[in-house]
Amino acid sequence: MLGPLPVPSPLLFWAFVTLPLLVAGSVVWGITRTSGPETGRRAARMTGAWLLLTGGLAVSGLLDHWSPPRMPLLFLVVLAFLVWAARQPWTERLGDFPLQVLVGFQGFRVLVEFGLHAAVSQGIAHPTMTWTGTNADIIPGMTALALFPFAHRIDRRVLQAWNVVMAGVLVVTVVTALLAAPTPLRLIPGDPANTFIASFPFVWIPAVLVTSAWLGHVVLFRRLRRG
């Protein structure tokens, strides 16, 4: 276990409590709207269990161990979920929402990036985690907000290219975050090391916000493949 990080400001703490709950709630609402109440209830139960599990593990300190590291296991679970979700009928049905909604959904990433910038400024997150470092994930959020009013008019191939590239930006962001964590594979030096994602509520950044962003890309990809 590494040394303690600075205590986040109340605004930062509650921002990363509230935003994941709102994003997760919007996903559950969308599933309910497109796949029906029974599927929505199952999604709500699974989402609630995931929030409690990841939040509880973070509060207990069980994730804040880095030799060997435990946080990568969470990312493996997220990856397995996304592979499973990509083949489920409910992700296909989520694509029934208008393109403006599917593109605009990614706009929440702007708020995430402002939160991460504040975390870096408060000495909680590694400097690479904001736009002054190597984190370019504000670009998907800002371009989503710029494109969503016209999404239904954009050529499908252009929109698919945007979707794939912006998903790739998120992959790079996650990889650099892990490379700045104090694991045996650390390649990005500097202080503080990225241990904050193992604490509450910041564990919900990968567990909920990153997962939801990737899920949004999966849904949009399936929608655009329909023709």
Do the domain assignments include residue 1?
no
Do the domain assignments include residue 127?
yes
Do the domain assignments include residue 150?
yes
Do the domain assignments include residue 113?
yes
Partnered with residue 111 across adjacent β-strands are: none
What are the structure tokens assigned to 124, written together?
A: 């909680």
- Which amino acid, residue 6? P
Domain of 107 in residue numbering reads as 10-225
In the block, tokens 């694509």 appear at 95
Alpha-carbon gap, residue 197 to 22, rounded angstroms: 19
Domain count, the chain: 1
3-state secondary structure 80-97: HHHHHHCCCHHHHHHCCC
Q: Residues with Cβ < 8 Å from 91, sequence gap 6 or more?
A: 85, 215, 218, 219, 222
Residue from 221, 226, 214 nearest 81 by CA: 214
What are the structure tokens assigned to 21, written together?
A: 């709950």
Do the domain assignments include residue 219?
yes
Partnered with residue 69 across adjacent β-strands are: 66
Q: How many other CB atoms are there within 10 angstroms of residue 61's CB atom?
A: 12
Do the domain assignments include residue 2?
no
Alpha-carbon gap, residue 99 to 62, rounded angstroms: 40
Q: What is the pLDDT of residues 163-220, one digit of tens each?
A: 999 999 999 999 999 999 998 888 898 889 999 999 999 999 999 999 999 999 999 9
Do the domain assignments include residue 155?
yes
Query: In a structure prediction context, what are the per-residue pLDDT tens digits for the chain, which is 227 residues long?
Result: 466 789 999 999 999 999 999 999 999 999 999 999 999 999 999 999 999 999 999 999 999 988 888 988 999 999 999 999 999 999 999 999 999 999 999 999 999 999 999 999 999 999 999 999 889 999 999 999 999 999 999 999 999 999 999 999 999 999 999 999 998 888 898 889 999 999 999 999 999 999 999 999 999 999 999 86
Alpha-carbon gap, residue 97 to 146, rounded angstroms: 18
Do the domain assignments include residue 5?
no
